[in-house]
Amino acid sequence: MYRLLEFLRSTYVALLFIVIEAVAIGYYARSSQFTQARILTQSNRLVGSIHGLFRNTRHFFSLPAANRELLERVVSLENELSLYREQAIYAALDTLESPLAGPYQYASARVVANSINKQENFITLNKGLDYGISPEMAVVTPTGEMVGYIASCSDRYSVAVSILNTSFRASGEVVGDGHYGAIHWDGFDAGHVSMSDLSKYAQIERGDTIVSANISNYFPAGIRIGTVESFELNETRTAYNVRVRLAADMTALHDVILIKNQDLDELHLLNANVQDNSSPNN
C-alpha cells in the first residue's frame, strides 16, 4: 500500500494530465455532429490500418505454403506439357500409335540439407521412393536451372549429387552454336563451373548462355547452366576451356523440381547389349 501511494505521488502530475486530456477530448467529441463524424472516420482508419497490418503479417507467413502449392502446380503443368509435346510429334509424323506419356516425368521436393563448402557436395531432399523418386533423376530449380541429379533414395528421402561436386559430370552446349563440352566443377568457387573439350570451332563470346545438350541422359535439352564469363584455348589449342557463372544460386536452394527420363532404362539396356555384342569374347 505504501509503495502504491509513493507511485501515485510521484506520477500524479502525469496522471492528472491524462485525465484532463481525456475529459477534454470527450467534451470535444460531443461538441458537434461534424466533430463526431471526424473522430469516427479517424478511428475507422486506425482500426483498418491495424487490421491491414495483421492481414499482411498472416499473408507473409503463409508465403512458403503458397510457394509449395505453386510449385506443385508447375510440376503438374510440366507433365501435361510433356505429354502434349510428344503427342504433337507423333501427330506431325502421322503415326497410328502414340505413347501414353511423354519422355519426361516431373515431381517436386523440398531441400532439407545442402552443402557447398566441400569437394564433394550433396543435396538431401524430403521425398524418396514412396513418392516416385528414383536415382538418375535430374534436379533443377523451379525456374529451370541445373542443380544436380539423384544418386540414392530411401523410402522417404533422396540424395542428389550437387553440381558443386567434383565427380559431377554433364554435357553443355552454347546456345545458338550447337557445339558441346563437358561440365564439371573445380572444387573452389560455389558460383562457377567449368566447361572443357568445347571445340575450337565453336562461336563463343562472353555472356553467351550455356544449357544442357541434347546428348545428356539425365537432363532434358535446354536446361540452363549459366553464362560464359571467360574462355581460352587449352594447351594443345584444340578446344576451349570455359569458365561459366552458374545460373542457379546454390547457396539458397529451397524447393526443386525433379525430372525423370522415362526412356533411360531402355537406353541403358540398349547400350549394355551393344557393349556385350562388341566385346572380344563374342
> For the chain, what are the domain ranges?
14-61, 103-263
How far apart CA 146 and CA 257 sit, in angstroms, is 10
Which residue in 222, 256, 63, 243 sits closest to 147, CA to CA?
A: 256
Residue 14: per-residue pLDDT: 72
Residue 99: per-residue pLDDT: 39
Residue 89: per-residue pLDDT: 39
- Name residue, grid cell 500409335: 97
Where in 115-238 does DSSP place strands (E)? 120-125, 138-140, 146-153, 158-165, 170-174, 180-184, 192-199, 209-212, 224-233
What's the grid cell of residue 124? 538431401
* Model confidence, pTM: 0.65
Residue 95: per-residue pLDDT: 40
Quick one: CATH architecture of 103-263? Answer: Beta Barrel (2.40)
Q: What count of other Cβ atoms lies within 10 Å of the Cβ of residue 110?
A: 15
Residue 151: per-residue pLDDT: 94
| Half-sphere exposure in the Cβ direction for 171 (13 Å, CA) | 13
- Name residue, grid cell 502504491: 4
Which residues have a Cβ under 8 Å from the Cβ of 257 and sit 6 or more positions away? 71, 74, 75, 78, 106, 107, 108, 139, 140, 141, 142, 144
Bridge partners of residue 227, in order along the sequence: 209, 245
pLDDT along the chain (282 residues), means of 10: 66 72 66 57 60 58 67 70 53 40 78 92 94 92 92 94 95 92 93 94 94 87 94 92 95 90 80 66 53
Cα distances from 191 to residues 162, 163, 176, in angstroms, run: 13, 10, 24
How far apart CA 127 and CA 111 sit, in angstroms, is 9
